[in-house]
């Protein structure tokens, strides 16, 4: 449901999703993660910081990963495990 501008103005700013994704990847430089693993990790962090948090939007994370790849801060690789191919992301 839409809200009026006054209510929106009383809201809190939040860090851009690309910053939050990069912070997570960079803090775990020795590992690579699937999209779903990143979504779960960021959702858990958001809930831990604020139990009333609305969580995270998977589409925002997809866009953030694209932005990080374009900026040369993250990279995606397709990894073949058994007969399945999975995309993993890591900071670079």
Using a cut of 0.85, tell me whether the model's pTM lies above it. Answer: no
Residue (of 64, 72, 67) closest to 38 by Cα position? 64
| CATH for the 15-91 domain, from 2.60.120.10, 3.40.50.720, 1.20.1260.10, 1.10.10.10 | 1.10.10.10
- pLDDT one-digit tens code per residue, 4-28: 999 888 887 767 899 999 999 999 9
Kindly give the parts of the chain with pLDDT less than 70.
14
Other C-beta atoms within 10 Å of 20: how many? 19
Q: What's the DSSP call for residue 73? A: S
Domain range list for the chain: 15-91
């Amino acid at each position: 449901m839409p809200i009026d501008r006054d209510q929106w103005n009383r809201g809190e700013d939040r860090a851009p999703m690309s910053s939050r994704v990069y912070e997570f990847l960079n803090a775990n430089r020795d590992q690579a993660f699937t999209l779903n693993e990143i979504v779960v990790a960021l959702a858990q962090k958001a809930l831990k910081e604020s139990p009333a948090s609305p969580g995270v939007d998977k589409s925002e994370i997809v866009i953030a990963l694209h932005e990080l790849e374009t900026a040369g801060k993250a990279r995606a690789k397709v990894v073949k495990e058994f007969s399945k191919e999975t995309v993993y992301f890591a900071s670079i």
